[in-house]
Amino acid sequence: MDDVRYAAIFLEVSLNVERFSSTAIAVGVALVGLVLVASTASTRAAAQQGGAGQATTTSANPLPRTSWDKKPDLTGVWQGANLNPQTYGLAQLERLYRSSAKAEMKALSEKDDPIRHCMPYGYPRSVTTSFPFQIVQAVGVMVVLNYHPHLYRYIPTDGRKHTEDIFPSYQGDSVGHWEGETLVVDVTALNGKVWLAGAQDHAMPTGAGGWITSDALHVVERWRLLDADTLEYQAVVEDPKVLTGPWTTPKISLKRAPIRKIEEGHCIPEGLDWQPPALK
Amino acid sequence: MTDRRVCGLVLSLGLLLAALPASAHHSFAATFDANKPIVVQVVVTQVRWENPHILIYADAKDKSGKVEKWTFESFPPGVLHRKGLRPDRLKPGATVTFKGFRAKDGSNFGHLSVAVFPDGKLFCVQFPGASDAVGDAAYDGCTGSETGQYR
Amino acid sequence: MKTSLVALLVVGASLWGFVFFSSTESVPAAEQQRGGGQATTTPAGPIPRTSWDGKPDLTGVWGPARYGPGPNQDIRTPSPAERNASQAELARLFQPWARGKSQSLTSLDDPRLHCGPYGFPKYINIPDYFVMQIVQAPKETLVFVEYVYSGFRIIPTDGSTHPKTIVPSFLGDSVGHWEEDTLVVDVTGFNGKIWLPGAPPGSGGGWITSDALHEVERWRLLDADTLEYQATVEDPKVMTGPWTTPKFLLKRAPPDIVPHEALCLEPEGLEHMKAVAKEQTK
């Protein structure tokens, strides 16, 4: 408010001096404008720091923010977390599988894993691999770009509802909204074919098989920038047809990768091997 | 010059299946017969919303009341969804009339061109090029301008 | 005194306007999907611009522009005669051996049968029933294709250059920069497997390319609902000189038209096709 009072005083002084040239008046107005803009900007800046659930940052390492809504900007290439069954919390997930689902799990092995047939890893599994992935945040949307398989995931971030009457798919229907500094993404309309982890990823000696899901799978993700180079991901997974209760992943820490953009991974389903016609 | 869109199974007849790799996105002409238009009233039993082709399993009753099992193939789920053919309508238990073209081998396997529901709602899923071979019989209610548009 | 006050307020108002001019709303990507697109039967609005650099905002879902006066049509789109002339020129530019090779191809050779995306510029002639989507962000512009799967191109616009080492791909490695209101994209690092638009006369295949393919694309908005694309293509291994495509047009799709998950071939799909093939070969 102090800034505005100074501007008002300046204006009052200008108005009282008839002999001021039009140039001086224009300069005066310009200064007033700049002062008012600056005060508005600092007011906005102060407001956003007060949001709930904000990351603790130091002024030496501030979060990058998008220019249009001042939300944390997750844009960049991120290194997959490369988790093992322990760091992925799979022991807890294993205990949640219904006995009816366990039989089906055990009948499946690595060769049945959809990712071996060029199908998506799905979420949360996607961030646990060693592959980098890329995020581009744009107005009202966050796009997640995958290297292998070469697929994109489109996440509206404007708080809209799920697409009506959408068919089930591997990546499902994602809608996001901001809760303070955290992007919360809700995923539904999944087709029940994606696995939560690999057949070889079992924390317990008695564990075995594919981490199946059903078309009742529902995932709620939380994406949060801890600092400019660290992205924290956590998901709650529920699937009443195969799990007895919800599974919360550990907080998964993803580091920024030092590459500009990911490459185009090309996956050819088994049985479609092909050599291009030889040139000359 | 516009590209001929191909969407059917490609295999040279007479070659052993094992010796030849299968292909995605096949051509209409290799599997279906544009001279075998069909109109079948069915009750849907299963819908597989899969890429690259949606598959619809359905039961039709022949003249004697015996149930005939049919399979219809169509475009990828995303295309059908944009045309308005969505899970709320295309679902197990739905009564619908399918118009399309029968497989070359005469089996109960068809390429879906038009879906007509009891409430009169029509979905034109035309396959460009196929309509040239037959008259309007298979395409009543579809103006032809649907061809080439995303819906 | 009063005159000075009025002058002050007028200048002040215009300054306010200037200061906040940069917040002209572009059509947000999400808005396009909800209701931001315009019908093409009414005159298109002004070109939307991004709030961060004032460049034309190519964000949106785009479909083919057929020739004509109706929705999703445009009389500015290349006519059949223009397309034929362009194809004839392309044929002339092909080295004889490459022309012959292209002529001998059939639809069985189509890379899409083996999960290869159409690539560019071919995808600009969007396959019937499919769409293309663009999402423009401050440091890169993304282009999404839907055929044969939900693939993407990343076009950095932050001054990045091509990497020293490029792994060859179907969609190539792109770098973009703005020349006034045109996005100019340099594409290299192709894998030699994509086809150029069209096909030799009478053949069911396409025009081959090599890993020496290099393209310069020009993307610009003619109006809020019309996107123009033109590319200059050179490939010293198969062509004798550069070929420039016609100025292809795309129209902004109605707001409820969005791309959906497309995968080349699900495992069940492969099983189904094998089963069908087995029946066919009995």
Q: What's C108's domain CATH number?
A: 2.40.128.20
Report yes or no on A120 lying in a domain. Answer: yes
Mutate: best of B25, B46, B47, B86, partner A, most A CBs <10 A? B86
CA distance C92 to C88: 6
Q: Give how far B109 is from chain C: nearest CA, Å.
A: 9
- Answer whether C105 sits within 8 Å of A277, measured CB to CB: yes
Residues spanned by the domain of A45: 2-49
Same-domain pairing of A155 and A84: yes
Question: Using a CB-CB distance cutoff of 8 angstroms, which residues of chain A are in contact with residue B49?
Answer: 167-169, 191
Structural domains of chain B in order of their starting residue, each with its CATH number = 32-139 (2.40.50.1010)
- Answer whether A141 sits within 8 Å of C170, measured CB to CB: no
Tokens of C256: 């409820």
Summarised one tens digit per residue, pLDDT across range C106-158 is 888 889 888 999 999 999 998 878 999 999 999 999 999 999 899 999 999 99
- Number of Cβ pairs < 8 A linking chain A and chain C: 171
Asked if residue A78 lies in contact with residue A132, where contact means CB atoms within 8 angstroms, the answer is yes
Same-domain pairing of A42 and A81: no
- Answer whether C261 sits within 8 Å of B51, measured CB to CB: yes
Tokens of C40: 């093409």
Report yes or no on A233 lying in a domain. Answer: yes
Scan for tokens 């089996």, then name that residue: B107
Beta bridge partners, A185, equal A176, A221
Same-domain pairing of A146 and A251: yes
Smallest CA–CA distance from A264 into chain C, residue: C169
CA distance B123 to B69: 22
Same-domain pairing of A242 and A119: yes
Count of CB atoms situated within 10 Å of the CB of B106: 9
Report yes or no on C43 lying in a domain. Answer: no
**Tally of domains in chain A:** 2
Q: Give the three-state DSSP class for B18.
A: helix
Render each residue's pLDDT in chain B as its tens digit; 151 residues.
333 343 433 333 333 333 334 455 666 777 888 888 889 999 999 999 999 999 999 999 878 889 999 999 998 999 999 888 999 999 999 999 998 889 988 999 999 988 999 998 888 886 544 444 444 444 556 655 444 455 5
pTM of the model: 0.81
Which helix (H) or strand (E) segment holds residue B71: the answer is: strand B67-73
- Answer whether B21 sits within 8 Å of A272, measured CB to CB: yes
**Tally of domains in chain C:** 1
Interfacial A residues in 179-208 facing B (CB < 8 Å)? 191
B: neighbours with 3+ CB pairs under 8 Å? A, C
Which helix (H) or strand (E) segment holds residue A103: the answer is: helix A99-106
Question: With an 8 Å Cβ cutoff, is A2 touching chain B?
Answer: no
Same-domain pairing of A40 and A174: no
Question: Using a CB-CB distance cutoff of 8 angstroms, which residues of chain B are in contact with residue A169?
Answer: 49, 77
Question: Using a CB-CB distance cutoff of 8 angstroms, which residues of chain A are in contact with residue B80?
Answer: 167
Q: Give how far A216 is from chain B: nearest CA, Å.
A: 15
Report yes or no on A280 lying in a domain. Answer: no
Interfacial B residues in 114-133 facing C (CB < 8 Å)? 128
Question: With an 8 Å Cβ cutoff, is C264 touching chain B?
Answer: yes
Report yes or no on A95 lying in a domain. Answer: yes
Tokens of C109: 């050779």
Q: Give how far A149 is from chain C: nearest CA, Å.
A: 9
- The pLDDT, as a whole number, for residue A23 is 54
Question: With an 8 Å Cβ cutoff, is B52 touching chain C?
Answer: yes
Q: Give how far A7 is from chain B: nearest CA, Å.
A: 56
pLDDT band at residue C16 using 50, 70 and 90 as cut-offs: very low
Report yes or no on A17 lying in a domain. Answer: yes
Which helix (H) or strand (E) segment holds residue B70: the answer is: strand B67-73
Q: Give how far A87 is from chain C: nearest CA, Å.
A: 30
Same-domain pairing of A139 and A191: yes
Same-domain pairing of A214 and A148: yes
Contact partners, residue C55, CB within 8 Å, separation at least 6:
C49, C178, C181, C183
- The pLDDT, as a whole number, for residue C26 is 40
Report yes or no on A264 lying in a domain. Answer: no
Report yes or no on C89 lying in a domain. Answer: yes
- Answer whether C281 sits within 8 Å of B15, measured CB to CB: yes
- Answer whether A15 sits within 8 Å of C4, measured CB to CB: yes
Same-domain pairing of A108 and A190: yes
Predicted-complex ipTM score: 0.84
Same-domain pairing of A112 and A231: yes
Report yes or no on A243 lying in a domain. Answer: yes
Mutate: best of C263, C270, C271, partner A, most A CBs <10 A? C263
Same-domain pairing of A157 and A200: yes
Smallest CA–CA distance from C257 into chain A, residue: A163
Report yes or no on C94 lying in a domain. Answer: yes
Report yes or no on C169 lying in a domain. Answer: yes
Beta bridge partners, A141, equal A138, A156
CA distance A231 to A223: 7
Same-domain pairing of A23 and A155: no
Question: Using a CB-CB distance cutoff of 8 angstroms, which residues of chain B are in contact with residue C129?
Answer: 75, 79, 82-83, 148-151
Residues spanned by the domain of C91: 56-256
- Out of B24, B31, B149, closest to residue C264 by CB: B24
Same-domain pairing of A103 and A193: yes
Percent of chain C residues past pLDDT 90, beyond the cut? 63
Question: With an 8 Å Cβ cutoff, is C179 touching chain B?
Answer: no
Tokens of A75: 């844009």
Give C65-133 as a DSSP string: -BSSSSTTB-TTSPPHHHHHHHHHHHHHHB-HHHHHHHHH--GGG-GGGGT----TTGGGSPPTT--EE
pLDDT band at residue C73 using 50, 70 and 90 as cut-offs: confident
Low-confidence residues of chain A: pLDDT under 50: 1-21, 41-55, 274-280
The angle, 0 to 180 degrees and rounded to 10, between the axes of the packed helices C2-19 and A2-16 is 140
Report yes or no on A81 lying in a domain. Answer: yes
Summarised one tens digit per residue, pLDDT across range C207-233 is 999 999 999 999 999 999 999 999 999
Beta bridge partners, C217, equal C185, C231
